Structure 1
Amino acid sequence: MNRMPYLFTCPHCHTRTEVEDEFSGQSGECVVCGREITLPNFAPGAVARPSGGVRIGKRRRSAAWVAAAVVMLLLVGASIIAVARVGGSTAQKLRQGRERIASIKNLETIAQALNAYAADHGAYPPPAIKSRTGKPLLSWRVMILPYLGEEELYDQFNLNAAWDSDQNQMITYQAMPSVYRHPNSQPWATDTAYHLVTGAGTLFPKTGPLGPKQVVDGATKTILLVESQGSSSWTEPIDLDIVASGGRINSVTGNDFGGVTEGGVCVVTVDGRGHFLPESTAAMTVNALVTPRGGEPLPDDVLD
């Protein structure tokens, strides 16, 4: 004899489930909210789709299989939710991995331009194009545009005016090279996450920038360019100060390395290779990596 399934909705928590007509009029507990419920006398033809869980059979043993079936449904549902959560976590990790790779590619492209500039001029560009009185006007990012294949864009800038002058600011908003935009950024953003590390003992001290040939500690263990959350327009002459950063990665100060990539910071060394430094890296190690001639002992795999 075929039994007819009916749809019942718990009046307390509104969970719905499919039950067969032989349990019409029985009482039990809702498996979701645990409150007492009584099934109605189902009308013929009230067929429904399964959609929830009710445990029937507190008063009749013959209904125990319903409780088991409902528990099984709930367990399957919980498993599906768990799989969905694991899948979501995996998807998030894949996304973060792609963003990390994309950021490292940006850094390597910029480093290639910086090294090409240094090959022509004997040293890296100064962090800022300055006025005759020493006022910082435009970032080094403008200075290396020809080495990024952006000669026409470079020619549009007024190198004798500040980055936020009317002419220069209009160009800033209209034509930002994609290589300066972090993969986490919005496509219309003009802020950049890629900065030099400046200050005493770095490649960019106040006395003037050094060049690759002046790197004593090795091109593979000296950082040239880093990610930093210090918000700045790509043409604004602002970079990461080694003293203010303290060698920290992803701290809450906003003046340190990282802050834009989950779990650490993407960097590129003088040899043009990109790396990822986890946020657990000791500040002493970070500081040693940005000094080109500090002589600090570093393990060979520090940047692997």
Structure 2
Amino acid sequence: MDAFAIVGHLVMLALVVAIIAPLFLPRRGNPAAWRDLWYWLAMPVPPLLVLILLRGQVRNEALIFGYGLILFTSFVALLGAIFTIIRVLRHLDGTRPGVVLLWATCLTMLVAILMPGVPQAREAARRAQCRYNLKYIGIALYNYHDEYGSLPPAILATNDTEVSWRVLILPYLDQSALYQRYDQGTPWNAGVNQPVSRTPVPGYLCPSIPHAMKPSADQYAPTDYAALVGDETAFPAGRTVTFNEITDGTSHTLLIVEAAQMGIRWAEPKDIDVPFASEKVRGQRKGGGPLNPLTSSEHTGGVHALLADGSVRFISENIDPEILRGMTTRAGGEPAAEF
């Protein structure tokens, strides 16, 4: 939290004290008065000030929560005002809304302190889900390897059509029904495959991406994960690879990486062509970043990647390009390096 937010909280605290202090003055025996309404009407002010001061510093989820808090305090204020009016009309003793207002104010200040941490907590959950997605893809690849004796081809050419590896492993991702509807003899974006290709697959979507679970402009469901394709990778064109061929070590060889905002559809036979990609990692974009990166994400500081041993590692956007290049090859002979 920066100095501006801290000063804003202190100013707000002073305003809150000024509002609630008169409520604790002796009221016993004093008749209810119309001026008591002022205290209730002031109740929504603290959360409104919080929202104004922190606007632009928090993500939309926190703003929505802030709007909800304003509605809540406004509702409480309305009830307090109604009871005050009734007591005035019936010439009863003055109300003491101080306790209610005190609790509402404490809640407001607590939210003001915790609200900047809400987006970070939500992003941590998203990152955990992203790691799980890649881990699950890794298990699917291993199960495919056990059944067919090799990793799936990046693109399976059949009957003048091309089928993506993401289609081939659907049965191992609990998506057998979707797999059975897919016709491998028809292009991915034509005929009977159109409704299939437009169906989002949750395991292919990183929840940190704004488009998660939403179709793209052409209505075809996107993916945020792609294979590294190239003659020296684990997914060379025109052939398949076994784990025994990964002599650089499965714990140092990349299989699948994040491919955020690259415009790839999950059923599309398209991935990351390593020879034409820069040896860069692009994390969450803030006004720029490397063009045509090898891998990209909406996570701060780097990306998740699935290695050939089935583990998922977080790769820093500051990784040495030479180390990153060595991790793309299956048998390049590069020395193992920490990353």
Q: TM-score, normalised by structure 2?
A: 0.61
CA distance in 1, matches of 2:201, 2:212: 13
Aligned-residue CA RMSD in angstroms? Answer: 2.9
Q: 2:224 aligns with which of 173, 179, 193?
A: 193
Q: CA deviation at 1:233?
A: 1.4
Match in the other structure for 1:143: 168
Q: 2:136 aligns with which of 109, 112, 131?
A: 109
The within-5 A match list for 1:217-228 is 217-228=248-259
Provide closer, same or farther for how the CA distance between residues 87 and 46 of structure 1 changes in structure 2, counting only shifts above 3 A: closer
Q: CA deviation at 1:46?
A: 6.5
Q: Which has the higher helix share?
A: 2
Rg (Cα) greater in structure: 1
Q: CA deviation at 1:88?
A: 3.8
CA distance in 1, matches of 2:240, 2:115: 46
Provide closer, same or farther for how the CA distance between residues 141 and 46 of structure 1 changes in structure 2, counting only shifts above 3 A: closer
**Between the two proteins, what is the percent identity of the paired residues?**
25
Name the SS of the counterpart of 1:129 in structure 2.
strand
The runs of 5 or more residues in structure 1 that have no matched partner are 1-14, 19-44, 53-79
C-alpha offsets along residues 75-114 of structure 1, whole Å, 9 cap, x if unaligned?
xxxxx99993x63442222222211111110001011111
Match in the other structure for 1:276: 314
CA distance in 2, matches of 1:88, 1:256: 35
Q: 1:266 aligns with which of 293, 300, 304?
A: 304
Name the SS of the counterpart of 2:265 in structure 1.
coil
CA distance in 2, matches of 1:89, 1:219: 40
Residue type at the aligned position of 2:114 = G
Q: TM-score, normalised by structure 1?
A: 0.68
CA distance in 2, matches of 1:92, 1:298: 36
Match in the other structure for 1:212: 243
The within-5 A match list for 1:230-269 is 230-250=262-282, 251-269=289-307
C-alpha offsets along residues 204-251 of structure 1, whole Å, 9 cap, x if unaligned?
122423121111111111111110121121100110111222221113
Q: 1:159 aligns with which of 177, 184, 187?
A: 184
Count of paired positions: 233
Name the SS of the counterpart of 1:247 in structure 2.
strand
Q: CA deviation at 1:262?
A: 2.5
CA distance in 1, matches of 2:134, 2:228: 14
After superposing on structure 2, the runs of 4+ consecutive aligned residues of structure 1 that deviate more than 4 Å are 45-52, 80-83
Provide closer, same or farther for how the CA distance between residues 252 and 209 of structure 1 changes in structure 2, counting only shifts above 3 A: same
